[in-house]
Structures are given as C-alpha cells and as structure tokens.
Amino acid sequence: PAEISKSVFAHIPIVGDARNILQSLTVAIKKLLEKQEMADRGSWSAQIEEWKKKCPLSYRQGDTIKPEYVVEQIYELTKDRETVMTTGVGQNQMWAAQYYKVTKPRTFISSGGLGTMGFGLPAAIGAQFGRPDALVFDIDGDGSFQMVSQDLATAVYNKLPINIAIMNNGYLGMVRQWQELFYKRRYSQVDLAVGTPDFVKLAEAYGAKGLRACHPDEVRSVLGEAIATDGPVVIDFLVEREENVFPMVAPGAPISQMIGGEEE
C-alpha cells in the first residue's frame, strides 16, 4: 500500500496478490475487447504529439561525436529495413529509446527497469537467431559491453551478422551523471579511461570485425561498412565524455519535478 501514488497518482489503486489480480484483470480486459468498449485514446495521443512538438529532444553537435547523433544515424540507415534493436543498460539505453524511432512491436529489446548491465549483446545474439533475416543492432556502453564481451565468441562461431555500437565515453556514464548532478562531481569508481581494452583489437582477437569512429564525419561511413559486413561487427564510437541524458528524476523527487536539461 505504501507504493500507491508514491511517485505517480494512481487513478485505480489495486492492492493484493499479483497472480490473482492479473488473472482477474485479464478476464476483465477480454470482456471489454469482446464488447469493443476500450477507451478512445485519440485525444491523449494528440496531447502527447503536441508536447513532443513543443518540447522536442535536442542536443548540441560539436567537434566530438554526440551519442544522440550516432543513434539518429543508425535509425536513418536502418529505418527502411527489418531491424531489431537491443541495448545495454545506462545512458546508452536511454539515448537509444529517445532517438531510435521504433514503429513496430518486438523490435526494441531492452532491460527496462531491471537495469541488467550486459543485456545488449546476448539479447542481440538471441534476436539474430530468432530473426535470421533481420538486421540486428546492439546499442551499448563501454561498461555494459565489457560485462559480456566474451559472448563475441558465440557470435563469431555462429557467423551471426550482429552490429554492436559502443558509446565509448570512458565512464560508467549513468553513475557519473548522478555523481555530477547530486554529489558535486565527487566522482568515485566511474572512470573507465584506464584499463578499458581497445575494442577494435578485442573484436579482431575474437575473429570479428572492429571499426572505430573518432569524429562526427566518420559516423555514417563506419555504420555503412558495418551494415554491409557479413559477420559480427564491433563499432567503437569515441563519444563526448561527459554528455548527460535528460530528462531524469532526482532521488526521492516526484516525476512532476524531473530535471529537463542542462539549462536547469
């Protein structure tokens, strides 16, 4: 009961055994579907579109690669193909959700609120097995990818043409962002600049292809080369080190007080 309306107001609060509740809810929804009495969400969808136009996502492009730009270019180069997108966990996951425009169900596979770092690569392998004719991309972070990088051996052994796009900022980015905003930049245990392997050489050591982009002008050509490769590819994008992802909710704060961007 303590969770009811804690962060978001609950119009219909339900407290009880989850199994019984979900079974009853399933029966109730089926009855509504049979009677075609589902609520009209047209006005709500229109409101969301209005908000998106009024407050669009944005970022400042400079001389270094912005991770948002990488995701945008992945979308532009894959939007006309059957594509399945997986993600790691952290800032990379959020940029993927914000800037990759998903239009079909079961094509964006991510470890939502569970926050399982290392999810992206094995999920991409599974997606490629399940959809052998689809183009599969894993948008990952340098920290998340290193937790399961040995799974490259599985991708190489099975000749799976997955593409692993690593947003390499040399940090555990989401934790660093929290420490910047809420702990006055007292960074602790988040810097990966020392000790992180050369991802191109790591890919080649496993028998995969390794590519790298260091400048915004290189992003599209590197992505094009990766997509054209018949086999697993690791793409090391050297992105802006301290790029933050917004909006976000501060610890203990309600959603109505979320932080919208750097100007706040």
User: Whole-model pTM above 0.75?
Assistant: yes
Distance CA(69)–CA(217), nearest Å, equals 11
Cα–Cα distance between 121 and 141 in angstroms, integer? 11
Sign of the C-alpha dihedral, residues 138, 144, 146, 151?
Answer: negative
Specify the pLDDT at position 260.
81
Task: State the DSSP H helix or E strand holding residue 134, giving kind and residue range, or none if neither.
Answer: none
pLDDT of residue 21: 95
pLDDT digits (tens, 9 = 90+) for 141-166: 999 999 999 999 999 999 999 999 99
Report which of 164, 167, 161, 166 is spatially closest to residue 228, judged by C-alpha positions: 161
pLDDT of residue 39: 73
Backbone conformation region of residue 118, classed left if phi is above 0, alpha if psi is from -120 to 50, else beta: left
Residue type at 176 in one-letter notation: R
- Those residues of the chain that have pLDDT short of 70 are 262-264
Q: What percent of the chain has pLDDT over 70?
A: 98
Cα–Cα separations (whole angstroms), residue 223 to 23, 67, 78, 83, 156:
45, 13, 10, 14, 19
Residue positions counted in the chain: 264
- Any idea which residue has 């490769």 for tokens? 229
Q: What is the pLDDT of residues 62-108, one digit of tens each?
A: 999 999 999 999 999 999 999 999 999 999 999 999 999 999 999 99
Instruction: Report the distance separating Cα 136 and Cα 138, nearest Å.
Output: 7
Q: How many CB atoms lie within 10 A of CB 191?
A: 14
* Per-residue model confidence (pLDDT) at position 263: 53
Which domains does the chain possess? Answer: 18-56 (no CATH), 67-238 (3.40.50.970)
One DSSP character per residue, 62-73 reads -SSBPHHHHHHH
For residue 81, the tally of other CB atoms under 10 A from its CB is 10
pLDDT of residue 83: 98
